[in-house]
Chain A
Amino acid sequence: MTETLPPMPVQRTRPLDPPLEYDQLREEQPVTRVRFPNGSAGWLVTRFEEGSQVFSDPRMSARRPRHDTPEGEVSEAGEEAPFNPTFVMMDEPDHSLYRRLLTGRFTPKSVQKNLQPYIDRIVDEHLDAIEAGPETFDFVQAIALPIPCLVICELLGVPYEDRDGFHHATEIMMDMANSREERDRGAKWLIDYITELVAKKRATGAGEGLLAELIRVADAEGSFLTDDELIGMGVLLLFAGHDTTAAMMGLSALTLLTHPEQRQDLADNPAKIGPAVEELLRYLTIVQFGLGRVAKEDLEIGGRHIAKGELVVVAMPAANRDPRVFDNPDTPDFDRKMTRHLAFGYGVHQCLGQNIARAELKTVLPRLFARFPHLRLALPAEEVPMDTYGTNYAVKKLMVTR
């Protein structure tokens, strides 16, 4: 018999706020059993400290089954993606072995030196193109999508002319309104694409970029990195590297366009861009269905007993609105005194690309509003189409007038 459980909240009432049911859960049942969107059962954590604990406890395994897939689509950990997820699903010490192949290219210093000049240039070029184009335009197609695509292509050494293909495949794969077969088709496209690209780079002597560096690691005598893992990492970096930042950029622009006070604050105080980006990350927390972990042994979280093998999902959008940690959590406040948030997760799996996302957001947002001080929505805010089924919450289209 299946347990009768309340469903995990997924329906939003207001476009920029997580489902309102979270407010009650956070106060009354901060660690509670729910039925996830795919029908599997497990624990949902809605408070900040308890959520942080789940992510940083070494007794919690990152090798977890999906919970956010469509109704009835339950699979085993590691079985849900047709590509090898490598370090994303690994625990220590294996996780570090793989992640450290990449971390050197994602440090603030490396991003500043190797990517920031490129970001500066492409953002200005795209703003020039907007200025030369029609007065009303889609911010997603004009900036939010192309900038992250260009940056991940530059970092990986992927040809930018292939962007339509890999973005379309990513959209299909990440849209939880699609069936497993459809989403697997998107993933398969990405696998075939990276497989071919790796073969091409090998044939021509690899060259520049992170993908070429990984090929050199895999091809070294006695390397632990297999081709299956190399391709899995390439797929992962390509889709995670552009879809997330694109979602965050579109939602950030919508937030500033609908919050004139905060927009003015940033215009008057350009030095606040760092805290403003952190606050937007907290406020928007795009990983809308949260992230799961599996208990490797019996343990306690927030006074509740979690049994070995149970799935625990941290609802980061709820945890990042926890009033125990954030005063007036539902208002974006660029003067907020905040040490950390959970938008990038927490623990050793915390987002690898976070410093690239920061660099892109910190470049695009102030320059966009400085260049077009009269920028406004071309339609009422409530009519902006939202991507409610995406793993990453996003605006589908953001028509604005400059």
Chain B
Amino acid sequence: MKIAIEEDKCCGAGQCVLVSPEVFDQRDEDGIVVLLEPNPPQEQYATVREAAAVCPAAAIEVHE
């Protein structure tokens, strides 16, 4: 799995961090998404897919 994020699209809602805190974080100053783990281990796949689906701004792209 490969994850790509688009910072420009991110609206800082924090949904990805709630679902998948091991893979996503947010910058302190403006809440923009930070990718902690661009190639997550298999056990994270389900939550990463959910984070992409839940993102209101469609800022997370998952390639499998």
Contact between B54 and A340 (Cβ–Cβ < 8 Å)? yes
Number of interface residues, chain B, beta carbon within 8 A:
23
Contact between A348 and B17 (Cβ–Cβ < 8 Å)? no
CB < 8 Å neighbour of A103 from B11, B17, B56 = B11
Q: How far is the CA of A344 from the CA of B26 in the complex (A)?
A: 20
Contact between A106 and B53 (Cβ–Cβ < 8 Å)? no
Contact between A106 and B11 (Cβ–Cβ < 8 Å)? no
- Nearest A residue to B27 via CB reads A104
Contacts of A346 in B (CB 8 A): 56
Residue A99 lies at the interface, judged by CB distance under 8 Å to chain B: yes
CB < 8 Å neighbour of B17 from A96, A109, A345 = A109
A350 in contact with B11 given A100-B31, A104-B31 (CB within 8 Å): yes
Q: How far is the CA of A55 from the CA of B55 in the complex (A)?
A: 12
Q: How far is the CA of A103 from the CA of B32 in the complex (A)?
A: 8
Residue B29 lies at the interface, judged by CB distance under 8 Å to chain A: yes
Residue A107 lies at the interface, judged by CB distance under 8 Å to chain B: yes
Contact between A339 and B31 (Cβ–Cβ < 8 Å)? no
Contacts of B17 in A (CB 8 A): 107-109
Contact mask A87-114 → B, CB, 8 Å, 1/0? 0000000001001110110111110000
Q: How far is the CA of A352 from the CA of B31 in the complex (A)?
A: 11
Which of A108, A345, A346, A351 counts the most chain B CB atoms within 10 A?
A108
Q: How far is the CA of A345 from the CA of B58 in the complex (A)?
A: 14
Contacts of A101 in B (CB 8 A): 30
- Nearest A residue to B51 via CB reads A339
CB < 8 Å neighbour of A106 from B9, B14, B27, B50 = B14
Contact mask B1-38 → A, CB, 8 Å, 1/0? 00000001101111101100000011111111000000
- Nearest B residue to A348 via CB reads B11
Residue A355 lies at the interface, judged by CB distance under 8 Å to chain B: yes
Contact mask A333-350 → B, CB, 8 Å, 1/0? 000000110001111111
Contact between A103 and B31 (Cβ–Cβ < 8 Å)? yes
Contacts of B57 in A (CB 8 A): 56, 347-348, 350
Q: How far is the CA of A39 from the CA of B28 in the complex (A)?
A: 45
Q: How far is the CA of A398 from the CA of B54 in the complex (A)?
A: 34
Q: Whole-angstrom distance from the CB of A218 to the nearest CB of chain B? A: 17
Contacts of A344 in B (CB 8 A): 13
Q: How far is the CA of A103 from the CA of B57 in the complex (A)?
A: 14
Which of A56, A339, A351, A352 counts the most chain B CB atoms within 10 A?
A339
Contacts of A355 in B (CB 8 A): 14, 18
Contacts of A99 in B (CB 8 A): 11-12
A348 in contact with B9 given A339-B50, A339-B54, A355-B14 (CB within 8 Å): yes
- Nearest B residue to A93 via CB reads B8
Residue A354 lies at the interface, judged by CB distance under 8 Å to chain B: yes
CB < 8 Å neighbour of B30 from A55, A103, A339, A340 = A103
Contacts of B54 in A (CB 8 A): 339-340
Contacts of B18 in A (CB 8 A): 108, 355
List 18 A-B pairs, Cβ < 8 Å. Answer: A55-B56, A100-B12, A100-B30, A100-B31, A103-B12, A103-B31, A104-B29, A104-B30, A107-B12, A108-B18, A339-B53, A339-B54, A340-B54, A347-B56, A348-B11, A350-B56, A351-B13, A355-B14
New A-B pairs, 5, CB < 8 Å, besides A103-B30, A107-B12: A56-B57, A96-B8, A110-B28, A340-B54, A355-B18
A-B complex: 3 closest residue pairs judged by Cβ atoms: A103-B12, A103-B31, A350-B56
